[in-house]
Copies of this chain bind each other. A is one copy, B any other.
Amino acid sequence: MSAAETVTSTPLAGQGRHLPASGPRRGIATVCLSGTLEDKLSAAAAAGFDGVEIFENDLIASPLSPGQVRERCADLGLSIDLYQPFRDFEAVGPELLAANLRRAAHKFDVMEQLGADTVLVCSSVAPAAVDDDDLAAEQLHTLASLAAERGLRIAYEALAWGRFVNTYDHSWEIVRRADHPALGLCLDSFHVLSRGSDPAGIRNLPGPKLFFLQLADAPRLEMDVLQWSRHHRLFPGQGAFDLPAFVGHVLAAGYDGPLSLEVFNDVFRQADPERAAVDAMRSLLALQERLEASGPVALRERVRVPDLPPAPDLAGHAFTELAVDDVSGPRVARALAALGFTHTGQHRSKPVQLWQQDGARVLLNASPPSGVSPGGAAVCALAVESADPARSARRAETLLAPVLPRTRGADEAILSAVAAPDGTSVFFCRTGEGDATSWLSDFAPTDATRGAGAGLTRTDHVALTQPFDHFDEAALFYRAVLGLEPETITEFAAPFGLIRSRAVADPAHSVRIALSVALLRRGEWAPGVPDPQHVAFATDDAFASARAMRALGAPLLRIPDNYYDDLDARLAPPAELLTAMRRYSVLYDRDEHGEFLHFYTEVLGSRVFFEVVQRVGGYAGYGAANAPVRMAAHRRLRIARAGRGKRTDAKPSPKSEGR
């Protein structure tokens, strides 16, 4: 096995079309995705959605007539479940009512041509509207009557910032008073949950009056709710809302329409729509699984995703694989040796080295093309110990993870792998020394005798800098595919811009993957590729490890004295400890559970470095507070190296940047 040759991953398009058809129908609003209407419909179909909500602005900018959109959707196997939004209709004076009814008639024409039978009418924000529920009900009754004449229906939604109607129970009160069969409710999880409303009351609403359900997750943010809604919604499982509970209430009420996503998100708005649509579909599949796990028996059957086996238990990182070349390979190998690793194995058919120290394992893969810049190195794969690798792979495939093709020699172990959103290969395996089915059997032992090592026991975590467009997708990917739980999001000001990081881990913390992304983007003025990845190894004694590694000549990163002076001022650690930390450039953090001692190597091959961590007590973090200090130290080394060799921090001229 090896990962580097597998990176030409399977195409995503069309993959989702084989989704099982049972269970609730799944939909997506075109506003979730980037591009033109044509781009969006193709992407939704390719990801396996059953239907779409047509967002009006997408239609307006399209050269396809509504009839042609209908045909396009039919060709793609998509139903048009909703046309939206129709704004600022109700509770107005007679003149404005007439204008609004004329406007509605035009839109009903469009809907007839589209073949869409339901329109979303959201509660008014117009200054001209009045606070009169009876008037609102009466006018919505009029609208519903006109809709019914054409076989259409009205789904009334309370915007969280609606002028007078901004809660679901208020919107229901108006629909109840209007009492027209063509008038019902649209429930949007964001509008309900962002206001802190208790969604349990939804169970008591009459199911046939629930015309439509829009789903969005969101992080908890202290900001204006309209801005929060329009810029920061997320797909289910990416934010902080309890959507299984919410959807459980809606289904309990008797709703039997589609689960449809309506997610306004600044990042998704600019990301590849095919990939975003797959991310969206994965979020619904994972939501159904959580709903199945938490809901009553009757509900379980309705939401079950066939072919989705539960996530097998994980028991740690099996290995991390680095792509290297002729220049970086020896350099990384020297560094591993100086960290106490031994080159214990050589792949039987490929230029892949196995380096081991107790339970910590690293593969160095020099297969061309390495996929890294000349002299560079990169994490190309991570492997987890699964209780059932085959089941892990089946689960990943059902959750739309691109399955990677493998080239396998005779007598080599079968290893299944999928591609994570950033292109990293994720392997599912079992590691057993002397076990012929273990991936270890692919490696012939070398003559090297294992040395005393430097106290490293296992891989603590793998830290991967994510492409800008795929941070939230990645967290959901690992959560869903591997059954990991996302931890708290951290944001901090790094020397070259803000960084957001979020780790995912299994309940036992045997597998930890720390994802990070530069918010906005990373400053292009800074030299080099400023987003290295790293592998962190666990030790039970950071100082003993540091001492041993220093004796072996490891390229450890020097931390400035100022850091320790500030640590002294802030925390007043015992003098002896402070002296030791300063001497060995060990950094320190603590949380309510315990303490964290950690140190770093220099960046090796432009993209990769190593970290050694000692967790004391139940410390749960990753030392994010110290990351800016590490980044500044890495930058100084780059500049110093550039000064000695060729200059790598040439800035783009204003011209080349501006044009």
Compute how far the CA of A629 lies from the CA of B37 in the bound complex, rounded to whole angstroms: 11
A422 on interface, CB distance cutoff 8 Å: yes
Partner of A270, one of B421, B518, B636: B518
Interchain CA distance A574-B422 in the complex, whole Å: 53
CA distance A36 to B496 in the complex (A): 8
Contact between chains at B562 and A35 (CB < 8 Å): no
Stretch at the interface among A116-124, A137-145, A565-573, A591-599: A565-573
Interface residues in A247-273 by Cβ distance below 8 A to B read: 266-267, 269-273
Given contacts A61-B562, A62-B632, contact A523 B272 (CB under 8 A): yes
* Contact A266 to B497, CB < 8 A, known contacts A223-B227, A653-B8: yes
- Residues of B contacting A636 in the complex (Cβ-Cβ under 8 angstroms): 36, 63
* Beta-carbon nearest neighbor of A104 in chain B: B569
Please give the count of copies of this chain that the complex contains.
2
Is A569 in contact with B632, judged by CB distance below 8 angstroms?
Answer: no
Cβ-neighbour of A467 out of B99, B421, B562, B658 (below 8 A): B658
A655→B60 contact, CB < 8 A:
no
Interface size on A, residues (CB 8 A): 92
**Interface assignment of A628: CB less than 8 Å from any CB of chain B:** yes
Q: Is A493 an interface residue (CB 8 A)?
A: yes
Task: Determine the chain B residues whose CB is within 8 A of the CB of A61 once the complex forms.
Answer: 495, 560, 562-563, 628-629, 631-633
* Whole-angstrom distance between the Cβ of A59 and the nearest chain B Cβ: 6
Residue on B nearest A6 in the bound complex, by CB: B655
Q: Which chain A residues numbered 399 to 423 have a C-beta less than 8 Å away from chain B?
A: 402, 419-423
The complex places the Cα of A270 from the Cα of B422 at a distance, in Å, of 23
Q: Which 8 A-B pairs have the closest CB atoms?
A: A423-B658, A270-B497, A106-B569, A270-B523, A272-B525, A422-B658, A222-B224, A61-B632
Name A residues whose Cβ lies closer than 8 Å to a Cβ of B: 7-9, 34-37, 56-57, 59-66, 99, 102-103, 106-107, 110, 222-224, 227, 231, 266-267, 269-273, 275, 371-372, 378, 380, 402, 419-424, 467-470, 493, 495-498, 518-526, 558, 560-563, 565-566, 568-570, 572, 607, 628-629, 631-633, 635-636, 651, 653-659
User: Could you pull out 30 A-B pairs where Cβ atoms are within 8 angstroms?
Assistant: A8-B655, A35-B495, A35-B526, A36-B632, A37-B632, A57-B493, A60-B566, A61-B495, A62-B560, A62-B562, A63-B633, A63-B636, A103-B569, A103-B570, A106-B566, A106-B568, A223-B227, A266-B498, A266-B520, A267-B520, A270-B498, A271-B523, A272-B651, A273-B525, A371-B655, A419-B654, A421-B654, A423-B654, A423-B655, A469-B524
